[in-house]
Amino acid sequence: MAGSGAPQVGVLALQGDFREHAAVLRGLGADVVHVRRPEELALIDGLVIPGGESSVMDKLSRTFGLADPLKDAIASGLPVYGTCAGLIMLADRILEGITGQQTLGGLDVEVRRNAFGSQLDSFETDIDIPVLGAEPVHAVFIRAPIVDSVGPNATALAALEDGRVVAVEQGNLLGTSFHPEVTGDIRFHAYFLEKVRTRAR
């Protein structure tokens, strides 16, 4: 926070739609740090892992020596919000990953990559998310994962009409299958920033 009162929020900028997240976070009053190197983790009060391609993010984070420091930061309570590929990165268990694909973990869930198949590659729908208030969230899914199972340490925040879970929370970690950063609905980012502000205090 550096005395300015504005939280310093990192956006993992290896790959994916990190610019969209940065714009939403700035709009909410955060100072944004693009994170590409381990040293940058020392500057931040929270981190967003964007949508993109989780297998590429996984490889790049290991190549750049970020994966282990990120795991340590998550274990020590850094607030982290992952959307889509970012949710996959935060999941403890992954189905349909590419050969050798790893995750950072932290969320006690099993996610299924590309769960909607080619027919329903991308779609939009309104979802009730009680923690964000009565107004439904317009959710955009792009080659999205689904949360196949939620372990005892994590909590489902939202599900599709058929019951499949698409948003989860566990302490300072938050993950959504969909992309609030592209819709103009800032409530998920605001909810996340509350975690960041509470921890940074």
Is residue 180 part of the contact set for ligand GLN (CB under 6 A)?
no
Phi, psi of 126 (to 5 degrees): -95, 135
170, 75 contact by CB (below 8 A): no
Q: What is the token pair recorded at 10?
A: 């990192």
> Considering only 26-34, 69-77, 84-92, 160-168, which stretch makes contact with ligand GLN by CB under 6 A?
84-92
CA dist., res. 84 & res. 90, Å (int): 10
Q: x/- string (CB under 6 A) for ligand GLN, residues 100-139? A: -------------xx-------------------------
Beta-bridged to residue 10, according to DSSP, are 33, 47
Task: Pick from 47, 67, 84, 193 the residue near ligand GLN by CB under 6 A.
Answer: 84
At closest approach, how far in Å is the CB of 53 from ligand GLN? 5
Site pattern 11..50 for ligand GLN (x: CB under 6 A): ----------------------------------------
Contact 59, 100 (CB under 8 A): no
Q: Are 159 and 150 in contact (CB under 8 A)?
A: no
Residue 181 among the catalytic residues: yes
What minimum distance in Å lies between the beta carbon of 185 and ligand GLN? 17
Could you give the angle at which helices 54-63 and 67-75 cross, rounded to 10 degrees?
A: 100
> Tokens 């938050």 appear where?
174
Token pair, residue 15, equals 């790959």
Q: Which of 7, 35, 47, 54 binds ligand GLN (CB under 6 A)?
A: 54
Name beta bridge partners: 140.
124
Q: Is residue 53 at the binding interface for ligand GLN, with CB under 6 A as the rule? A: yes
Does 142 interact with ligand GLN (rule: CB under 6 A)? yes
CB closer to ligand GLN, 7 vs 51: 51
Q: How is residue 72 written in tokens?
A: 């340590």
Residues in touch with ligand GLN (CB under 6 A): 51-54, 84-85, 88, 113-114, 142-143
